[in-house]
Amino acid sequence: MRAVVERVKRAEVRVEGRVAGRIDEGLLVLVGIATGDTRECGQALAEKIVNLRLFEGEQGAEPIDQPGPPRGRMQRSLLEKGGSVLCVSQFTLYGDCRKGRRPSYDRAAPPEVARPFYEAFVESLRQLLGRSGARVETGQFQAMMEVELVNDGPVTLLLDSEKLF
Protein backbone atom coordinates (compact mmCIF):
# COMPACT_ATOMS: atom_id res chain seq x y z
CA MET A 1 0.00 0.00 0.00
CA ARG A 2 1.06 3.53 -0.65
CA ALA A 3 -0.20 6.73 0.87
CA VAL A 4 0.28 10.43 0.35
CA VAL A 5 -0.39 12.12 3.69
CA GLU A 6 -1.02 15.85 3.71
CA ARG A 7 -1.57 17.99 6.79
CA VAL A 8 -4.51 20.23 5.95
CA LYS A 9 -6.43 23.18 7.33
CA ARG A 10 -9.45 21.75 5.50
CA ALA A 11 -10.22 19.34 2.68
CA GLU A 12 -13.20 17.99 0.82
CA VAL A 13 -13.97 15.51 -1.91
CA ARG A 14 -16.88 15.83 -4.33
CA VAL A 15 -18.46 13.19 -6.57
CA GLU A 16 -20.77 14.43 -9.34
CA GLY A 17 -20.94 17.84 -7.66
CA ARG A 18 -21.99 16.45 -4.25
CA VAL A 19 -19.74 16.54 -1.19
CA ALA A 20 -18.82 12.96 -0.30
CA GLY A 21 -16.46 13.85 2.56
CA ARG A 22 -15.26 17.01 4.28
CA ILE A 23 -12.91 17.74 7.17
CA ASP A 24 -11.43 20.73 8.91
CA GLU A 25 -7.96 20.45 10.46
CA GLY A 26 -6.35 17.06 10.08
CA LEU A 27 -4.93 14.79 7.41
CA LEU A 28 -5.86 14.12 3.81
CA VAL A 29 -4.75 10.57 3.01
CA LEU A 30 -4.62 9.41 -0.60
CA VAL A 31 -4.20 5.63 -0.57
CA GLY A 32 -3.37 3.11 -3.28
CA ILE A 33 -3.59 -0.67 -3.04
CA ALA A 34 -1.11 -2.95 -4.84
CA THR A 35 -1.48 -6.52 -5.94
CA GLY A 36 -0.17 -8.66 -3.10
CA ASP A 37 -1.18 -6.26 -0.33
CA THR A 38 -2.73 -7.72 2.80
CA ARG A 39 -5.02 -6.48 5.56
CA GLU A 40 -1.92 -6.42 7.78
CA CYS A 41 -0.32 -3.92 5.37
CA GLY A 42 -3.34 -1.67 5.80
CA GLN A 43 -3.40 -2.02 9.58
CA ALA A 44 0.31 -1.16 9.83
CA LEU A 45 -0.08 1.82 7.49
CA ALA A 46 -3.08 3.11 9.47
CA GLU A 47 -1.12 2.81 12.73
CA LYS A 48 1.80 4.69 11.18
CA ILE A 49 -0.45 7.49 9.95
CA VAL A 50 -2.33 8.13 13.20
CA ASN A 51 0.92 8.08 15.20
CA LEU A 52 3.03 10.31 12.93
CA ARG A 53 4.03 13.48 14.75
CA LEU A 54 2.87 16.09 12.26
CA PHE A 55 1.21 18.73 14.44
CA GLU A 56 2.50 21.53 16.64
CA GLY A 57 3.08 20.99 20.33
CA GLU A 58 1.02 22.59 23.10
CA GLN A 59 3.06 25.83 23.08
CA GLY A 60 2.93 26.17 19.30
CA ALA A 61 5.94 26.50 17.05
CA GLU A 62 8.92 28.75 17.64
CA PRO A 63 9.66 31.32 14.95
CA ILE A 64 11.42 29.80 11.95
CA ASP A 65 14.38 32.20 12.29
CA GLN A 66 15.47 30.64 15.62
CA PRO A 67 18.82 28.78 15.48
CA GLY A 68 18.95 25.02 15.96
CA PRO A 69 16.35 22.36 15.31
CA PRO A 70 12.75 23.56 15.34
CA ARG A 71 11.08 22.92 18.68
CA GLY A 72 7.34 22.92 18.99
CA ARG A 73 6.86 21.81 15.41
CA MET A 74 5.62 18.33 14.70
CA GLN A 75 5.41 17.14 18.29
CA ARG A 76 1.88 15.73 18.36
CA SER A 77 0.19 12.97 16.40
CA LEU A 78 -3.35 12.92 15.09
CA LEU A 79 -4.22 10.69 18.06
CA GLU A 80 -2.95 13.37 20.45
CA LYS A 81 -4.36 16.33 18.55
CA GLY A 82 -7.79 14.92 17.71
CA GLY A 83 -8.04 16.21 14.12
CA SER A 84 -9.87 14.39 11.35
CA VAL A 85 -8.93 12.26 8.35
CA LEU A 86 -10.24 12.42 4.80
CA CYS A 87 -9.29 9.16 3.09
CA VAL A 88 -9.46 8.94 -0.70
CA SER A 89 -8.68 5.85 -2.79
CA GLN A 90 -6.20 6.57 -5.57
CA PHE A 91 -4.92 3.69 -7.71
CA THR A 92 -2.69 6.11 -9.66
CA LEU A 93 -0.22 6.03 -6.75
CA TYR A 94 0.96 2.82 -8.38
CA GLY A 95 1.45 4.42 -11.79
CA ASP A 96 4.87 3.42 -13.15
CA CYS A 97 6.28 6.14 -15.40
CA ARG A 98 9.76 4.71 -15.95
CA LYS A 99 9.05 3.63 -19.55
CA GLY A 100 7.38 5.62 -22.28
CA ARG A 101 4.93 8.43 -21.78
CA ARG A 102 1.91 6.55 -20.49
CA PRO A 103 1.89 5.26 -16.90
CA SER A 104 1.55 1.53 -16.37
CA TYR A 105 -0.75 0.43 -13.57
CA ASP A 106 0.33 -3.22 -13.52
CA ARG A 107 1.13 -3.10 -9.78
CA ALA A 108 -2.22 -1.53 -8.83
CA ALA A 109 -4.72 -4.06 -7.51
CA PRO A 110 -7.86 -4.43 -9.64
CA PRO A 111 -10.96 -2.79 -8.11
CA GLU A 112 -12.58 -6.03 -6.96
CA VAL A 113 -9.41 -6.86 -5.01
CA ALA A 114 -8.61 -3.32 -3.84
CA ARG A 115 -12.07 -2.37 -2.51
CA PRO A 116 -12.10 -4.71 0.54
CA PHE A 117 -8.55 -3.68 1.45
CA TYR A 118 -9.44 0.01 1.13
CA GLU A 119 -12.54 -0.50 3.30
CA ALA A 120 -10.50 -2.42 5.89
CA PHE A 121 -7.90 0.39 5.89
CA VAL A 122 -10.62 2.99 6.54
CA GLU A 123 -12.07 0.80 9.31
CA SER A 124 -8.58 0.51 10.87
CA LEU A 125 -8.31 4.31 10.91
CA ARG A 126 -11.74 4.58 12.54
CA GLN A 127 -10.89 2.02 15.21
CA LEU A 128 -7.52 3.60 15.98
CA LEU A 129 -8.98 7.10 16.21
CA GLY A 130 -12.24 6.06 17.89
CA ARG A 131 -11.48 7.28 21.38
CA SER A 132 -9.69 10.46 20.27
CA GLY A 133 -12.83 12.06 18.85
CA ALA A 134 -11.29 12.27 15.37
CA ARG A 135 -13.62 11.70 12.42
CA VAL A 136 -12.76 9.65 9.35
CA GLU A 137 -14.45 10.78 6.15
CA THR A 138 -14.01 9.20 2.73
CA GLY A 139 -14.43 9.76 -0.95
CA GLN A 140 -16.22 7.21 -3.11
CA PHE A 141 -14.27 4.16 -4.21
CA GLN A 142 -13.81 3.83 -7.99
CA ALA A 143 -15.46 7.18 -8.77
CA MET A 144 -14.18 10.28 -10.52
CA MET A 145 -13.62 12.70 -7.65
CA GLU A 146 -12.69 16.33 -7.20
CA VAL A 147 -10.40 16.76 -4.20
CA GLU A 148 -9.90 20.22 -2.78
CA LEU A 149 -7.55 21.02 0.08
CA VAL A 150 -5.78 23.79 1.88
CA ASN A 151 -2.38 22.33 2.76
CA ASP A 152 -1.03 23.35 6.16
CA GLY A 153 2.68 24.06 6.05
CA PRO A 154 2.79 22.57 3.48
CA VAL A 155 3.43 19.19 5.05
CA THR A 156 3.24 16.27 2.60
CA LEU A 157 4.70 12.80 3.21
CA LEU A 158 4.93 9.64 1.13
CA LEU A 159 4.44 6.27 2.85
CA ASP A 160 4.86 2.80 1.43
CA SER A 161 4.09 -0.48 3.19
CA GLU A 162 7.12 -2.03 1.49
CA LYS A 163 9.21 0.82 2.94
CA LEU A 164 10.56 1.77 -0.49
CA PHE A 165 10.58 5.39 0.68
Can you count the helices (H) and strands (E) in the chain?
3, 8
Catalytically annotated residue among 92, 127, 142, 156: 92
The Cα–Cα gap between 106 and 96 comes to 8
Catalytically annotated residue among 43, 55, 90, 117: 90
Catalytically annotated residue among 55, 91, 117, 121: 91
Our answer to whether residue 55 is catalytic in this structure is no
DSSP one-letter string for 71-113: SSSS-EEHHHH--EEEEEE-GGGG-B-SSSSS-B-TTBPPHHH
| Amino acid, single-letter form, for residue 46 | A
Our answer to whether residue 141 is catalytic in this structure is no
Our answer to whether residue 92 is catalytic in this structure is yes
> Which residues are known to be catalytic?
90-92
